[in-house]
Every structure is written in C-alpha cells, then in structure tokens.
Amino acid sequence: MMTDAPTVRLVRRPTPEDRAAVEPLIAQLPGGDRPGDRSFDEPWQLRAFALAVTAHKAGRFEWAQFQAALIASIKKWEETHALDDPSWAYYEHWVAAFETVLAQIGLLDTPSLESRTAEVLAAPPNHHEAHRDPIAVHPGVKA
C-alpha cells in the first residue's frame, strides 16, 4: 500500500492575532476619511501590504530596506512617466519593492519568478473555469 507524502504548507493561514496586528497599520493609511474612500482598491493590494508587513515583523528585513526599494521603484516610474499619467498604481510599486527586497535577501529567485509569471500570463484568463459545453460536435451526430 502506497501512502501519500505529507503536504508541506509553506504559508500558514492568518490567525486572528495576525489580522489584529495589521488592522492598526491599515487604519493609518490615507483614505477612508470620507464615505466610499478605501485604502485598497483590489483584494490583491491588501494581500501585498500584509505580506510585506508580516515579513518585516518576522524579522526577514529592515523596514528601511523596504522603504528604499519602494522609493527607488517610484522614482524610476516618475523618471519615465508624466506625474498625471493614469497608469500610476502605488501598490504595483509596493509589490516591485517587496520583490526587490526578497531577491536581495535571497528569499526570491527572480528568474524563477519571471518564468512562472510568464506561464501564468500565457494561460487563458478563464482556464480554471469548467467548460460544460462540447468543444466540437461531429457533423454526423444529430442532437
């Protein structure tokens, strides 16, 4: 009888304590002063924020290192774009800074990330959805 190898979970689910630790940081973000204001426009932005904060709190890197990477990412964008360019996206710079720091400390292999990113982007956007209709119907078959 063959048994399955135990599954190793690399990332644990956030605990209520984890969420409680992030809430004060979120409350300090700009926005939210008026009804309808939000600090995060998309769920991935909150996740990116929480990942960076959690990695810092776990002692993986100094916050100043992250800030320097964030400033560098924003500066690079500003050098090649008009300041009112609608393509501006703060949390894209946040993610870029986080990737930079993780690569600097050896926790991220940039070529592997780029390869995997290309694979994900090459997949059709609905590849995960079930297709219940026939893909092709033989002309000799009548319904």
Span of 49-63, 92-106, 111-125, 126-140 with lowest mean pLDDT:
126-140
pLDDT bucket at 34, cuts 50 / 70 / 90: low
Please report, in angstroms and rounded to a whole number, the separation of the first and last CA atoms in the chain. 45
Name the residue with higher pLDDT: 141 or 70.
Answer: 70
Predicted model pTM = 0.65
Over 50: is that where the pLDDT of 71 sits? yes
For the segment 26-38, the average pLDDT, to the nearest whole number, is: 59
Token couple for 1 = 């009888």
CA angle 51, 90, 103 (to 5 degrees): 45
Q: Is the dihedral of CA 28, 30, 33, 39 positive or negative?
A: negative
pLDDT for the residue numbered 1: 44
